[in-house]
Structure 1
Amino acid sequence: MLSIGEFSKICQVSTKTLRYYAEIGLINPEKINRENGYRYYSINQLERMLFINRLKSYEISLEEIKAILQSEKDQFEEKLILLLNKKRWEIQEKLTAYDRMVKQLGNDMENLKKGEPILNNLKDLDIKLVEVPAMYILSIRKLVSIEECKLGYDLFFNQLYKKIAEEGLTIIGPPMTIYHSEEYLSEGYDIEFAIPIKEYATGTKDFNPGLCIKTRLKGSYSEITSVYAKQHEWLEKEKFCTAKPPFDVYITNPREIKRPEDFITDIYLPVKKI
């Protein structure tokens, strides 16, 4: 048997953390001395603790780790593989985001060296006043998390493409997302994933944006807030206001274009004159 201090030293986990893990049922001492309250762990528990540490190093939550440890033996491996795949994707997403951040930092530093402002891209954004004709759309509207939003093509557009193929409908334009949330919500967004189609069929609806301002963004979606800022500057200057929820049209398919700098997105904001 190992004292809590010995177990702590071997596994590189503080005794305070071990006591917390016992409170939440993650790993309990093998024995507790009733007289003095001393806690003891068995040699066999070292592997369990090392397993917990390994999953924690992947930023897997304690709740997820506990659920895996409590899995039935015949489901343990399958659930663990699913969890690790999910975490690998999340980590890869972070690496991609950091890579974009490093590139953006480099661009900002170059602009500063040239005597130009960091937000140099704002001057290149063109805003056009356009009339968008009415159309039919097949859509899915959901409250989605930020992660689900990033996976929109796979999670939601694929469902729409499947329905279109099954019912023999005709696509007449690129996919779009309509943003119904009135404010930024960290827990998720009220988004409608839509594809314009020729026919009016079960599940389709009218979409009539009308008068809009349109800005074409060439590059990563991370720059989209710059477009929003520029559009609202235009609204104030030209005496217009928003009329309906904004929407984005994906001219390029993110699944086919590998480099974010090659993405092309048309950003629309329905407006009316004040």
Structure 2
Amino acid sequence: MLSIGEFSKICKVSTKTLRYYDEIGLIHPEDINPENGYRYYSIRQLKEMLLINRLKSYHFSLEEIKTMINVEENQAEEKLIFGLQRKRKEVQAKIHAYEYTLTQLNQDILRADMGKSMMSWLDDIEVELSETQPMNILYIRQMMSSDDYALGYEKYFSRLYERIAVNKLTLLGTPMTIYHSPEYNPAGNDTEFAIPIEETVRETRYLHGSLCAKSVLKGPYAELTSVYAKLREWVDDEGYDLAQSPYEVYVTDHQQAGVPEDIVTEVYFPIKKKER
């Protein structure tokens, strides 16, 4: 058996932390002397503590680690592998995000070295006129707070795809989001999730075709704000007014894209000529 001090020294974990781990049920001493309260750990617990340290280095929370290691022995390996695979995806996503940020920084520095404005990259966003065709859409319309969006997209599109599968409906296009609120409100925005289908059933509606200012974003969704700004500027410069709510069409599924730069999103601003 190892005293708490020796165990602490080997594993590079303070005795205060070991007592805390005991309190939260992460790792308990093998034995506690009832007379003096001294804590002792077994040799086999060294591996357990090293595993905890390893998982902490992967940025798992203590609660996540507890869930992963405090399971039935026949489930332990499966639970651990599942957790590691999920964490790998999170780390890869962060790496891609930093790589994209680094690319943007390098581009901004290059523009500055060439004597260009940092915001000159907006000039690279192309806008074109597009005549869209009418379509029948299966939809869910929902008030969405700023905190809802990340999970909301997956939630509501999944529901729509489930209805399409259950009712054997004919898919005619990729998912789209229509933004109906006249202004952005972090507390709630009128958002419509839709998928074009052939059949007219309950919870479908007709989306009219129209003349649109269109731009295509190839990159992460975080860049959509720039596309919206460019489109709005173009609409005003070309003598148009917005006619209906703007919408996005997700040409590629972000889960299928290898890196964020592979994501393709079309943005449409339905427009009409300004009244003189």
Could you say whether these structures have the same fold, taking a TM-score greater than 0.5 normalized by the shorter chain as the test? yes
Equivalent position of 2:74 in the other structure = 74
1:222 paired residue number: 222
**For 1:136-195, what per-residue CA distance to the aligned partner results, in whole angstroms no more than 9, with x for missing partners?**
22346787563785xx5xx8767755754665544433332345784458xx99865432
Query: What secondary structure sits across from 2:59 in the alignment?
Result: coil
Structure 1 spans left out of the alignment, 5+ residues: none
Taking only aligned residues, the RMSD between alpha carbons, in angstroms, comes to 4.1
Q: What does 1:120-159 correspond to in 2, within 5 Å?
A: 120-127=120-127, 134-139=134-139, 146=150, 152=154
Q: Identity percentage over the alignment?
A: 51
- Aligned-partner residue type, residue 217 of structure 2: L
When residues 190 and 67 of structure 1 are mapped into structure 2, their CA distance, relative to the original with a 3 A threshold, is farther
Partner of 2:204: 204
Change in CA separation of 1:82 and 1:31 when aligned onto 2, cut-off 3 Å: same
Q: TM-score, normalised by structure 1?
A: 0.74
| Aligned pairs for 1:1-274 within 5 A | 1-33=1-33, 37-127=37-127, 134-139=134-139, 146=150, 152=154, 164=164, 167=167, 169-178=169-178, 182-183=184-185, 193-207=193-207, 213-231=213-231, 233=233, 244=245, 246-252=246-252, 258=258, 260-261=260-261, 263-269=263-269
Report the more deviating stretch, 225-234 or 82-91. Answer: 225-234
Does structure 1 conserve the Cα–Cα contact (< 8 Å) formed by 2:242 and 2:269? no
Aligned residues: 267
Structure 2 unaligned segments of length 5 or more: list them: none
CA offset at residue 266 of structure 1? 1.6
> What amino acid sits opposite 1:108 in the alignment?
D
When normalised by structure 2's length, the TM-score is 0.73
Contact 1:137 1:194 in 2 (8 A): yes
Measure, in 1, the Cα distance between the counterparts of 2:131 and 2:29.
70
| Deviation at residue 27 of structure 1 after TM alignment | 1.3
Shift of 1:37: 4.7
Q: Distance in 2 between matches of 1:72 and 1:141?
A: 43
222-231 or 171-180: bigger deviation: 171-180
User: Aligned to 2:118, what secondary structure does the other structure show?
Assistant: coil
- Whichever residue aligns with residue 60 of structure 1, its letter is F
Residues 6-30 of structure 1 show CA distances to partners (whole Å, capped at 9, x for unaligned) of: 2222112223322221221111233
